[in-house]
Amino acid sequence: MKFFKLALAAAAATAALSGAAMAEEVSLSYNVGIASDYVFRGVSQTQEDPQVFGGVDLGYGIGYAGVWASNVDFGTSDPSIEVDLYGGIKPTVGDATLDFGVLYYGYSEDKGLTPGKFSYTELKAAVSKPVGKVTLGAAVYWSPEWPGDLGSATYAEVNGSVPLSEKFSLSAALGKQSIEDAADYTTWNVGVGYALTEKLALDVRYWDTSEHDFGDIYKSRVAVSLKAAF
């Protein structure tokens, strides 16, 4: 928790120093898509069934906020809908972009904006930096209470992406999910993106985890998604 307090303080100081250069324009963008499977940190959130999703993002200077929704299926009678709320700031230091934010993962059977049976909150600290044609990144997410009363949880990831041509790109990530009162696991993914148009993109991605014994939803899979952004 001390790490996040220091990170947020540093972000606030950076934002104050760059305040004069902040672009005072509000931007609004939308996205909608479909996928063969909703995979989150290597784990299927739809029992390996298709996903339909969409979201709205608001930007103002280095600040951002948004809402995103998707169908889910955890193998029980509930929940069936996930609605995420998030916000934060993205200051820059040289050619590196920082990202400090808060995310709330809400589910249809939980009420209000507080953690419930399924819902939970995470704090995020991330950085990305171009190195030649490659963009490298790292991120840490921390939750004070994981669903199921499993205590605090941390997800740490390193990632990278590189353009292969004008329309093709390659990206990959390696992460570890650690939960206070549950077993940890490692996850990784690698995929190719293709820009069908300026607003429509296709992604084909291989996912896997270190713990296939946790069940079928933790096993290796390939997910295909089609996303429109405008």
Residue 33 is part of a domain; what is its CATH number? 2.40.160.40
pTM here is: 0.87
Q: Which of 204, 145, 133, 193 has its CA nearest to residue 169? A: 193
Segments forming the whole domain that contains residue 192? 2-16+26-229
Residue 87 inside a domain? The answer is yes
21 in any annotated domain: no
Q: How many domains is the chain partitioned into structurally?
A: 1
Residue 175 lies in a domain: yes
Confirm if 154 and 184 have CB atoms less than 8 A apart.
Answer: no
Which of 32, 33, 39, 82 is CA-nearest to residue 57?
Answer: 32
Mean pLDDT value across residues 90-103: 98
Report if residue 77 sits inside a domain: yes
CA torsion 193→125→88→34, rounded to 10°? Answer: 30
How many angstroms separate the CA atoms of 106 and 69, rounded?
9
In-domain check, residue 162: yes
Residue 4 has pLDDT above 60, yes or no: no
**Residue 170 pLDDT class (50, 70, 90 cuts):** very high
Residue 146 has pLDDT above 60, yes or no: yes
**Domain for residue 139, yes or no?**
yes
Q: What does the block give as tokens for 141?
A: 């997410």
Is 220 domain-assigned? Answer: yes
